[in-house]
Amino acid sequence: MRYVKRKVAGESARILVADDDPAVRMVLAALLRQEGFQTVCVESGDAALSTLDRQHVDLVLSDVRMPGLDGMQVLDRLAEQRPDLPVVLLTAHGTVPLAVEAMKRGASDFLTKPFDREEIVFVARKALAALERQAPSTPERAPSRVLVGESAAMCEVQALIRKIARGASTVLIRGESGTGKEIVARALHEASPRREGPFVKLHCAAFPESLLESELFGHEKGAFTGASSRKPGRIELADGGTLFLDEVGDIPLPMQVKLLRVLQERELERLGGRETLRVDVRIVAATHRDLESLAKEGQFREDLFYRLNVVPLRLPPLRERGGDVSMLARHFCAVHGRANQRPHITLDADALRVLAEQSWPGNVRQLENLIERLVVLADGASITAGDVERALAAEPGLSRLDALRSPGDGGAPADLTLEAGRRRTEREALRTALARAGNNRTLAARLLGVSRRTLYTKLEEHDLV
């Protein structure tokens, strides 16, 4: 079983350095320790994976060329087994195509040797900052990242994907957190003529403004402290393919002007640069926020909204997807059964019934979290209704759909609308998470599986600030 303990408050980050050159390992370890990090050094990719089985690590710095498993193979293994763990690759043979391939396969960053002290520290802090800001929700596990569902709502989504994929127009995916916006973005890419090109993603809420601009547009050497070499941004890396901008509503206003130019002119300049670069990239954006309202309030450019909203695609929340809960539950049970060496574990009929009765305010992501926990903790070969009930008792914000109905009303929903029920459940989840976290909002966000920015937005929406 992989070691996935989280740091306790005040504990410095632990960085695993994998390089077959002992001099490089020694220099990197000394440099990182001087900056207050803990380090673990290994000489190969195989040793890196073995160490990760036994020790908690927050970041991996790995050479690309090593005997046995090389850095790209380590990256691939971790993308399957520890997709929450950021990996930065180092190489003496850096090229833009190699950087593109590394980013496509999940690398957090890519550096060339000889490296600069400030650059190493900058990139390490950036990767760890992104990890801290990212909600610790269900990791992106490639085997389970498929569109599952036969409800009318999902059939409509799948039909739209087939139509939209043929073109090159910008797509805006709307939907609540946890509905699978990234899965849909990847499905659009893989069904498009650009499928052989890169699929590059950027979670806009995971970076502070000072880092987001460089991450999106790239930078030139000397553009800021720590920028010791030229580096392409995500837009440039996605040239010929698709760029997925998750939580696009969190892009700061000054940066929105530059993104608008990319959408209109298909050109950009790197941060600190003067050269105009032409890019051929399809942008698929996603948000759970009301961009129209943000535009009216002056928090989001109206012209950018119209450029993003060329082809809108709404993802339904799980409560609107009919019988898809049982199908998704069985799918996740099979996926996580294989991943946890329990390939024959199943959900019995009563367990599926209990799952189908839940409101799932966290949508598909919340359901997958729960199923994975059940697979790991269940004692028998079949997950029972009792197992599900015990797991639900520890799950903040979940309530049965029939609990939203008034007794004796013939099944009519209380307050008459699903939206009213959703808001009650959401407010209950927020209050429960804050109480359990002792009003620590960072911890509350982690309990709910959302970013801190999303938590603040929801607290304001429900007057809980």
Name the domain boundary from 362, 395, 428: 395
Least confident of 133-137, 232-236, 416-420, 451-455: 133-137
CA–CA separation, 339 vs 409, rounded Å? 45
pLDDT-derived band at 41, boundaries 50, 70, 90: very high
Residue 52: C-alpha distances to residues 14, 55, 202, 420 (Å): 11, 5, 26, 46
Q: Which residue has the higher pLDDT, 16 or 104?
A: 16
What is the CB neighbour count within 10 angstroms for residue 362?
28
pLDDT exceeds cutoff 50 at 8: no
- Looking at the structure, do residues 272 and 381 belong to the same domain, yes or no? no
Asked whether the beta carbons of 172 and 311 are under 8 A apart, the reply is yes
- Looking at the structure, do residues 360 and 445 belong to the same domain, yes or no? no
Question: Residue 52 maps to which CATH number?
Answer: 3.40.50.2300
Residue 200, exposed/middle/buried by CB under 10 A (0-12, 13-18, 19+)? buried
pTM of the model as a whole? 0.62
* pLDDT for res 441: 76
pLDDT exceeds cutoff 60 at 141: no
Nearest to 322 by CA among 84, 141, 120, 157: 157
Structure tokens at 250: 């969190």
pLDDT exceeds cutoff 50 at 457: yes
Q: Is 455 part of a structural domain of the chain?
A: yes
Structure tokens at 282: 């399809």
Least confident of 15-19, 91-95, 286-290: 91-95
Mean pLDDT, range 70-88, rounded to an integer: 86
Structure tokens at 54: 């036994």
* pLDDT for res 348: 94
Percent of the residues in the chain that have a pLDDT greater than 70, as a whole number: 86
Q: Indicate the SS3 state at residue 89.
A: strand
Q: Is 46 part of a structural domain of the chain?
A: yes
pLDDT exceeds cutoff 50 at 137: no
Domain tally for the chain? 4
* pLDDT for res 411: 43
* Chain centre to alpha carbon of residue 197: 21
CA–CA separation, 21 vs 23, rounded Å? 5
Mean pLDDT, range 413-432, rounded to an integer: 66
Q: Is 311 part of a structural domain of the chain?
A: yes
- Looking at the structure, do residues 102 and 162 belong to the same domain, yes or no? no
* pLDDT for res 5: 45
Mean pLDDT, range 337-360, rounded to an integer: 92
CA–CA separation, 453 vs 442, rounded Å? 10
- Looking at the structure, do residues 192 and 205 belong to the same domain, yes or no? yes
Q: Is 141 part of a structural domain of the chain?
A: no
Least confident of 96-105, 268-277, 377-386: 96-105
Q: Is 5 part of a structural domain of the chain?
A: no
Q: Is 338 part of a structural domain of the chain?
A: yes
- Looking at the structure, do residues 298 and 447 belong to the same domain, yes or no? no
- Looking at the structure, do residues 121 and 106 belong to the same domain, yes or no? yes
- Looking at the structure, do residues 293 and 220 belong to the same domain, yes or no? yes
| pLDDT tens-digit readout, 364-380 | 999 999 999 999 988 88
Residue 3: C-alpha distances to residues 6, 47, 119 (Å): 9, 15, 29
Structure tokens at 27: 């220099």
CA–CA separation, 107 vs 75, rounded Å? 7
Determine the structural domain holding residue 210 and report its residue range: 152-315
Question: Residue 452 maps to which CATH number?
Answer: 1.10.10
Residue type present at position 72:
M
What lies within 8 Å, CB to CB, of 157 at 6+ separation is 147, 184, 313, 315, 316
Q: Is 139 part of a structural domain of the chain?
A: no
Name the domain boundary from 98, 133, 168: 133
Asked whether the beta carbons of 342 and 309 are under 8 A apart, the reply is no
* pLDDT for res 410: 43
Nearest to 113 by CA among 229, 272, 268: 229
Strand pairing category for 282-287 and 382-383: unpaired
Beta strands (DSSP E) in 224-335 are 231-232, 242-246, 267-268, 277-278, 282-287, 311-314
Q: Is 40 part of a structural domain of the chain?
A: yes
pLDDT-derived band at 405, boundaries 50, 70, 90: very low
Bond from prior residue into 316 cis (ω within 30 degrees of 0)? no
* pLDDT for res 418: 57
What lies within 8 Å, CB to CB, of 340 at 6+ separation is 372, 375, 376
Mean pLDDT, range 319-343, rounded to an integer: 91
pLDDT exceeds cutoff 50 at 290: yes
Quickly count helices (H) and strands (E) in the chain. Answer: 19, 16
Question: What mean pLDDT, rounded, does the chain reach?
Answer: 83
* pLDDT for res 417: 55
Q: Which residue has the higher pLDDT, 138 or 132?
A: 132
Q: Which residue has the higher pLDDT, 283 or 225?
A: 283
Four-residue CA torsion sign, 208, 211, 214, 220 = positive
Strand (E) or helix (H) holding 49: helix 45-54
pLDDT exceeds cutoff 50 at 387: yes
Percent of the residues in the chain that have a pLDDT greater than 90, as a whole number: 43
- Looking at the structure, do residues 372 and 443 belong to the same domain, yes or no? no
* pLDDT for res 306: 96
pLDDT exceeds cutoff 50 at 269: yes
3-state helix vs strand vs coil in the chain, percent to 5: 50, 15, 40
Asked whether the beta carbons of 383 and 347 are under 8 A apart, the reply is yes
- Looking at the structure, do residues 453 and 429 belong to the same domain, yes or no? yes
CA–CA separation, 184 vs 173, rounded Å? 8
What is the CB neighbour count within 10 angstroms for residue 443?
15
Question: Residue 387 maps to which CATH number?
Answer: 1.10.8.60
- Looking at the structure, do residues 115 and 199 belong to the same domain, yes or no? no
Asked whether the beta carbons of 388 and 355 are under 8 A apart, the reply is yes
Least confident of 175-184, 338-347, 424-433: 424-433
* pLDDT for res 189: 94
Name the domain boundary from 104, 133, 162: 133
- Looking at the structure, do residues 294 and 336 belong to the same domain, yes or no? no
pLDDT-derived band at 421, boundaries 50, 70, 90: low
Nearest to 204 by CA among 189, 216, 186, 188: 216
- Looking at the structure, do residues 169 and 306 belong to the same domain, yes or no? yes
Question: Residue 229 maps to which CATH number?
Answer: 3.40.50.300
Mean pLDDT, range 62-89, rounded to an integer: 87
